[in-house]
Amino acid sequence: MYRSNNCGELRSSHINNEVTLSGWVQKVRDKGFMVWVDLRDRYGITQLIFDEERTPKAMMEQAQKLGREFVIQVKGTVIERDSKNPNIPTGDIEILVSELTILNTALTPPFTIEDKTDGGEELRMKYRYLDIRRNPVKNNLIFRHKVTQEVRNFLSNQDFIEVETPYLIKSTPEGARDFVVPSRMNEGQFYALPQSPQTFKQLLMVGGMDKYFQIVKCFRDEDLRADRQPEFTQIDCEMAFVEQDDILDVFEGLTRHLLKEVNGVEIEKFPRMLYDDAMRLYGNDKPDIRFGMEFGELNAVTQHKDFKVFNDAELVVGIAVPGGNSYTRKEIDKLIEWVKRPQVGALGMIYSRCNEDGTYKSSVDKFYDQDDLAKWAEITNAKAGDLVCVLSGPTNKVRAQLSALRMELATRLGLRDPKVFAPLWVMDFPLLEWDEDTERYHAMHHPFTSPKPGQIELLDTNPGEVKANAYDLVLNGNEIGGGSIRIHDKATQAIMLKHLGFSEADAKAQFGFLMDAFEYGAPPHGGLAFGLDRLVAILGGQETIRDFIAFPKNNSGRDVMIDAPSKIDDAQLEELSLKLNIKS
């Protein structure tokens, strides 16, 4: 038996017990006549004591030679500590060791294995197995486990069945590039790894499974913007015989359950907002509603004067910064520089100070009088002491820019408290999205999303206006998940694919299996998927999903620990009937 107890459970009530413990040497304090060792395992730290008077000489010497991260087993007696440590749960006791076995030695670790470590991110990733011994990483993994357990409990209690779907499949269009896997048995042919199990879960509905979920890996070969992973986990769900409200109710219930069980936070009904309103009020389809600072559109109160910049703009829009009138000229100039950074891309920013005495002072006083500025304040909801910041330009661009400014200011003002949770459903997304690069419409969600009833005809006349039965769940300004009611008949699916630019032959080649299935009695169905990594990070009050993934990849998609991706040898290529012809 390696251990009778773990390193986190012994208390004064165990005094005089004979115990066996195993774990890692966290620290050795050697006073010559006395040696203390902190023994660590997943559950905590227990202090071991060896002393000249009570410990045989050979064991004393052995203890003095223990190195950090040695794996040892000890037998001994639980005794009361002379000087207690109230900071750890086992701080009242220590183990007087009677037997010491070194189970394994360890090289000196490349960084300190403590809560605050001296190891940089890249180094910690290379030795992730050591990093996982640290509390912050270990606790995040345990936290993630708790969340997934609660997801499984909740959904199983609601009659959902977890079904596994294959990883070696054919491309599923979720808007990203596929990872592909060459097939040895089918020369020159490739599987794609699923961007999501989308078509399979729809086929499970045709198969009568009725309520499906899966905690599942998805793979998307995208350029890795900060905090994305090429492989990530979804809580993927689908339900048959449901309307949008049924789905929102179930997954609002799941989210509420998680907030309650995991965070102890109770939240009433989640607000719902139309996509168009989210864009108008926050310039963003995933607004952070923990704070106000809603947009005020100012075209009507700015385009009647000679200020050409505003007159030429499609949209003039502002926000009120609470207390912003206290900013110095220099601080405002810095803010203007901030919006002009290429990442934000505004050409400039106009502002109006709302003085305590009810007067206004703007950067465009030449064009606008006090009455005009009073209207700006009214529309942006600015109070005395605030600062109105105004951007102008093409609608989509200027909304994105002002949204970036809104988030930045809220962060600076401390309005984005990670302990506050503000969920929001955003609904009625456009079905299609114009892509400037390819000059074509793309499915905003995916090609299986159904248009709102009665809008099919609009596809021919005004495709950009067609709204979908699609919804996203947003939490604290992050998209946690999204889904839709699906198309479930072949004819509508064919129309949709035609509008996305698929020829009949291409549509058949790529999605024939799904369209065929729709001809054998497909029930009305819909679903959604939550991004588990991000959900866990947000519930954990943190920002980076990497911190909640046991073995994450870096920003270039590399696993620096196992050194992947890497070359394969010629024999492997030969087996796959592949010859490399690397372009660069």
Give the annotated binding-site residues for L-aspartate: 174, 220, 445, 486
CB of 482 to ligand ASP, least distance (A): 6
Site string for ligand ASP, 484-503 (x = CB under 6 A): x-------------------
Site string for ligand ASP, 117-156 (x = CB under 6 A): ----------------------------------------
Task: Say how far residue 176 (Cα) sits from the centre of its chain.
Answer: 17
CB of 484 to ligand ASP, least distance (A): 5
Q: Does 194 bind ligand ASP (CB under 6 A)?
A: no
Residues 69-98 that bind ligand ASP (CB under 6 A): none
Select 195 or 325, whichever has its Cβ closest to ligand ASP: 195
CB of 216 to ligand ASP, least distance (A): 10
Q: Give the interface segment with ligand ASP, choosing from 67-75, 163-171, 401-409, 476-484 (CB under 6 A).
A: 476-484
CB of 174 to ligand ASP, least distance (A): 5
Does residue 176 contact residue 222 with C-beta atoms inside 8 Å? yes
CB of 217 to ligand ASP, least distance (A): 12
Q: Does 447 bind ligand ASP (CB under 6 A)?
A: no
What Å distances lie between residue 212 and 118, 204, 234, CA to CA? 45, 8, 13
Site string for ligand ASP, 197-216 (x = CB under 6 A): -x------------------
Select 198 or 302, whichever has its Cβ closest to ligand ASP: 198
Sequence-separated contacts (24+) of 117-125 with Cβ below 8 Å? 122/554, 122/560, 125/552, 125/554, 125/560, 125/561
Q: Give the interface segment with ligand ASP, choosing from 182-190, 332-340, 356-364, 478-486 (CB under 6 A).
A: 478-486
Q: Which residue is nearest to ligand ASP (CB)?
A: 196
Closest CA to 432 of 506, 332, 499: 499
CB of 198 to ligand ASP, least distance (A): 4
What's the CA gap between 560 and 123, in Å, rounded? 9
Site string for ligand ASP, 502-531 (x = CB under 6 A): -------------------------xxx--
Amino acid found at 550: A
CB of 59 to ligand ASP, least distance (A): 59
Residues 349-408 that bind ligand ASP (CB under 6 A): none
Select 165 or 380, whichever has its Cβ closest to ligand ASP: 165
313: phi then psi, degrees, rounded to nearest 5? -85, 145
CB of 202 to ligand ASP, least distance (A): 9
User: In a 3-state reduction of DSSP, which class is residue 350?
Assistant: strand
Q: Give the interface segment with ligand ASP, choosing from 66-74, 305-313, 363-371, 480-488 (CB under 6 A).
A: 480-488
Q: What's the Rg (C-alpha) of the chain? A: 30
What's the CA gap between 517 and 221, in Å, rounded? 29
- What sections of 40-134 are H helices per DSSP? 57-64, 121-126, 128-131
Which residues are annotated as part of the binding site? Answer: 174, 220-222, 229, 445, 479, 486, 531-534
What's the CA gap between 234 and 217, in Å, rounded? 6
3-state DSSP of 126-184: HCHHHHCCCHHHHHHHHHHHHHHHHHHHHHHHCCCEECCCCCCECCCCCCCCCCEEECC
Amino acid found at 382: A
Q: What are the tokens at 253?
A: 């219930």
CB of 123 to ligand ASP, least distance (A): 34
CB of 164 to ligand ASP, least distance (A): 16
DSSP 281-346: HHSSSS---SS----EE-HHHHTTSS-HHHHT-SEEEEEEETTGGGS-HHHHHHHHHHHHSTTT--
Residue with tokens 């064919």: 494
Which residues are annotated as part of the binding site for ATP? Answer: 220-222, 229, 479, 531-534
Select 14 or 211, whichever has its Cβ closest to ligand ASP: 211
What's the CA gap between 148 and 533, in Å, rounded? 10
CB of 544 to ligand ASP, least distance (A): 21
Does residue 17 contact residue 75 with C-beta atoms inside 8 Å? no
Select 351 or 429, whichever has its Cβ closest to ligand ASP: 429
What's the CA gap between 470 and 486, in Å, rounded? 9
Residue with tokens 């390696």: 2
What's the CA gap between 326 and 385, in Å, rounded? 7
Number of residues that bind ligand ASP (CB under 6 A): 9
CB of 507 to ligand ASP, least distance (A): 19
Select 196 or 284, whichever has its Cβ closest to ligand ASP: 196
The pairing of strands 93-104 and 44-51 is parallel
* Residue from the set 26, 55, 196, 362 that interacts with ligand ASP by CB under 6 A: 196
Q: Does 174 bind ligand ASP (CB under 6 A)?
A: yes
Select 410 or 487, whichever has its Cβ closest to ligand ASP: 487
Select 191 or 219, whichever has its Cβ closest to ligand ASP: 219
Query: Which residues does residue 323 pair with via DSSP β-bridges, in sequence order?
Result: none
Select 72 or 532, whichever has its Cβ closest to ligand ASP: 532
Does residue 95 contact residue 21 with C-beta atoms inside 8 Å? yes
Select 46 or 196, whichever has its Cβ closest to ligand ASP: 196
Closest CA to 238 of 171, 166, 162, 173: 162
* Residue from the set 447, 477, 483, 552 that interacts with ligand ASP by CB under 6 A: 483
Instruction: Summarize as ranges the residues that interact with ligand ASP (CB under 6 A).
Output: 174, 196, 198, 482-484, 527-529
